[in-house]
Structure 1
Amino acid sequence: MRPSTKKTLVLSTLLLALVAGGTLIPLAWNQREAARQQPSAVAVAPAPAAAEAEPATPAPPPGTEQVPPEEAETDRSPNAASPGGPVLSFGRAQGLHQTPDPLRLNSSAALVVDQASGEVLVQKNAQAVLPIASLTKLMTSVVVLEARQPMDEVLTITDEDVDRERHSRSRLKVGSTLTREEALHLALMSSENRAAHALGRTYPGGLEKMVAAMNAKARQLGMQNSSFVDPTGLSNANRSTARDVALLVKAAAQNPLIAQFSTTRQHVADLGSSRSLQYINSNRLVRNANPGWDIELQKTGYIVEAGRCLTMVTEVAGRSLILVLLDAESNGTRIADAERLRRWAVAQWGGPEAVAALKAESARPRKAVVAKKKDSPDERKRGVKTASAKKKDGKAASRKDGKATAVAKKEPADRKKVATAKKGGDGRVRQSFAAAKSDSKS
């Protein structure tokens, strides 16, 4: 028997033995599963677009733990962890996001109000009552500051402050200490739930008195369709309308501390121990310092039932506007809705980029008109020269055939009539740019 034939026979016998023993099939299956789990070039998600890419956050000081943005706005409740994925938000379950609007906003409810006059500029389902998630923390901040408690008082995070409803993440461990001012700062800029709950728990009279004060303040502000049950917004019973939220934002904007804390891009929290945390603003427009945005106050929010929420006070074209967006489908769509509203405002009243675009656009036709105006005398000169040349040619021809004198006399008269028609008078045919200006002045 040849060696190659013998080798083939041995391998065949070995394979048959492995199959018979039930070893080869599991081995092949495991290799297949391993190959499936390996990331392939096709399965890799595309890199984010330039508009979505975020600038690198400066490295925190040595020994400082960096808290990812939007970490506090996580929802690991049974609804979010259901087998079918997150349930629909209340607004989308009602189909509010499908309400037609000229800007094609993704949010179920939206409102733009002039902060000074209260004039409603854009609205979509502005009276729909919906959960507002962490926008609640604006009311928490207003009530805490009105209580005039010592801002340097040290608060301790306790087991009561742990979120057992949404299981949202927090880097403030039980036993951590921070001042009331620090807790307010983290609640506003990074939507820190344990910090917000600690503010409510340490309110004069406790959490129950805090919630009562929040609802009383809502009635005082004219928020007729709003109700609050906790200081964090983790409960879907914290509900309001886009109109009511705008009233709350207007009141909150009167406090410089709320405006300052809510728009801080990043902040290293002093926890009174060797452990320090660097927090980053939960609003992408703030932490990226997006061009075109001048944000004076902001707050984001998210739970499954509320969708992605956002409110801001921003200056556009010299006007201070209050923007409210409730129940957007994702963080990206709520930012896109905000951009649509800003561009709409710029188109209405102008702005740096709009003015520059208008100047560039108006410069082109204006230059063309001026060029025509400057060139027209040359054209007329060229026309005269051509006519003179024709006249000389005509005279030259008349000397040959004896008819040139009559032709030369008639042609200038015809040209004078045409020139008169072009220049104007009562029956002018065309008016020049300069003539239009002089007429408007007279």
Structure 2
Amino acid sequence: MSYRDLIYSAMMESDGTAAYALAYTVGASLRARAAGSLGELGAIEAFVTQMNALARQLGMERTLFVNPDGLEPEKGPQPYSTAADVVKLVAYAMNDAGFRFYVSQKERKVAFTRGGQNLGYLLRNTNELLGTNGIDGVKTGTTARAGQCIALSSQRDPEIRKEGETTYVTPRRVDIVILGAADRFSVGQQLLGRAWSLYDQWAAAGRPAQTSKH
């Protein structure tokens, strides 16, 4: 499969095999170019090390990645995170136009070769809320320990205002992360509606800046 189709498979249908294939290929490249301890790791380990390095860079202080697919291994350290941490990753990823395109697709046909035959498969995004209320991403996830999880991103048209001869363009996007929900799609719709309502109230009040209390 191509890199593109592996990304579609991993992001749209949570294909763990695709995630490992990407991790192995990218990790091998990272290891080959790296100096020091990273170059001594296996391809998967090098990739996961970089995942955790990015988490630290983004201020995800209560997050640990132990593998590419996020599932809990039978032995060894267990992965963990929080909604507050994951939303930082969502905001970072949704700033990339290519990533936004991948996770916004409801369906996508991918191609692969098996036994010398060229085959195709129609992926269907597991994010049932795509296309509603401005939602253009990002991903669902389910594990035995975490339960039903979903990260959502919703965008409105940018706000444009003029002050004198200067035009100001303000992007408008809300990101939500839900962990351990009984019904992630129902909860997601409720929280997103509440988030945009709070945004509208804040905008109507003149966008007051929040001040820290000491």
User: TM-score band, normalised by the shorter chain?
Assistant: 0.7 to 0.9
Q: 1:245 Cα deviation (Å)?
A: 0.6
Q: Do residues 338 (structure 1) and 178 (structure 2) align?
A: no
Are the equivalent residues in 2 in contact too, given 1:188–1:258 (CA < 8 A)?
no
Aligned to 1:308: 148
Rate the CA distance shift 1:283–1:225 in 2: closer, same or farther, 3 A. same
Q: Which has the higher helix share?
A: 1
Q: Do residues 213 (structure 1) and 54 (structure 2) align?
A: no
Match of 2:82 among 241, 246, 249: 241
Aligned to 1:365: none
Alignment of 1:211-290 (within 5 A): 211-235=48-72, 237-272=78-113, 273-286=117-130, 289-290=131-132
Equivalents in 1 of 2:68, 2:199: separation in Å? 38
Q: Do residues 191 (structure 1) and 44 (structure 2) align?
A: no
Are the equivalent residues in 2 in contact too, given 1:316–1:346 (CA < 8 A)?
no
Aligned to 2:209: none
Q: 1:338 Cα deviation (Å)?
A: 1.0
Equivalents in 1 of 2:45, 2:98: separation in Å? 25
Alignment of 1:144-159 (within 5 A): none
Q: 1:246 Cα deviation (Å)?
A: 1.1
**Aligned residues between the structures:** 167
Alignment of 1:321-400 (within 5 A): 321-329=174-182, 333-349=183-199
SS of residue paired to 2:46 = helix
Identity of aligned residues (%): 30
- Look up the equivalent residue of 1:278 and give its one-letter code: L
Q: Deviations over 1:151-176 (max 9, x none)?
A: xxxxxxxxxxxxxxxxxxxxxxxxxx
Aligned to 2:165: none
Rate the CA distance shift 1:215–1:316 in 2: closer, same or farther, 3 A. same
Q: Deviations over 1:182-214 (max 9, x none)?
A: 101211111111100111122223101011111
Q: 1:317 Cα deviation (Å)?
A: 8.2
Structure showing greater radius of gyration is 1
Q: Deviations over 1:325-362 (max 9, x none)?
A: 01112xxx111111111222344455xxxxxxxxxxxx
Are the equivalent residues in 1 in contact too, given 2:174–2:195 (CA < 8 A)?
no
Q: 1:264 Cα deviation (Å)?
A: 0.6
SS of residue paired to 1:208 = helix
- Look up the equivalent residue of 1:344 and give its one-letter code: R
Rate the CA distance shift 1:328–1:317 in 2: closer, same or farther, 3 A. farther
SS of residue paired to 1:227 = coil
Q: Do residues 320 (structure 1) and 139 (structure 2) align?
A: no
Equivalents in 1 of 2:93, 2:196: separation in Å? 25
Q: 1:316 Cα deviation (Å)?
A: 5.2
Q: Which has the higher strand share?
A: 2
Equivalents in 2 of 1:325, 1:345: separation in Å? 13
Q: CA RMSD in A?
A: 2.0
Are the equivalent residues in 1 in contact too, given 2:10–2:16 (CA < 8 A)?
yes
Aligned to 1:200: 23
**Structure 2: gaps (5+ residues):** 32-42, 159-171, 201-214
Equivalents in 1 of 2:89, 2:153: separation in Å? 11
Task: Give me the TM-score of the superposition, normalised by structure 2.
Answer: 0.72
Q: 1:227 Cα deviation (Å)?
A: 0.4
Are the equivalent residues in 1 in contact too, given 2:111–2:118 (CA < 8 A)?
no
- Look up the equivalent residue of 1:345 and give its one-letter code: A
- Look up the equivalent residue of 1:327 and give its one-letter code: G
Divergent runs of 4+, >4 A: none
- Look up the equivalent residue of 1:230 and give its one-letter code: N
Q: 1:279 Cα deviation (Å)?
A: 0.7
Q: 1:240 Cα deviation (Å)?
A: 0.8
Q: Deviations over 1:43-101 (max 9, x none)?
A: xxxxxxxxxxxxxxxxxxxxxxxxxxxxxxxxxxxxxxxxxxxxxxxxxxxxxxxxxxx
Q: 1:275 Cα deviation (Å)?
A: 1.8
- Look up the equivalent residue of 2:194 and give its one-letter code: W
Equivalents in 1 of 2:71, 2:84: separation in Å? 21
SS of residue paired to 1:200 = helix
Are the equivalent residues in 2 in contact too, given 1:317–1:346 (CA < 8 A)?
no
Equivalents in 1 of 2:198, 2:57: separation in Å? 33
- Look up the equivalent residue of 1:296 and give its one-letter code: D
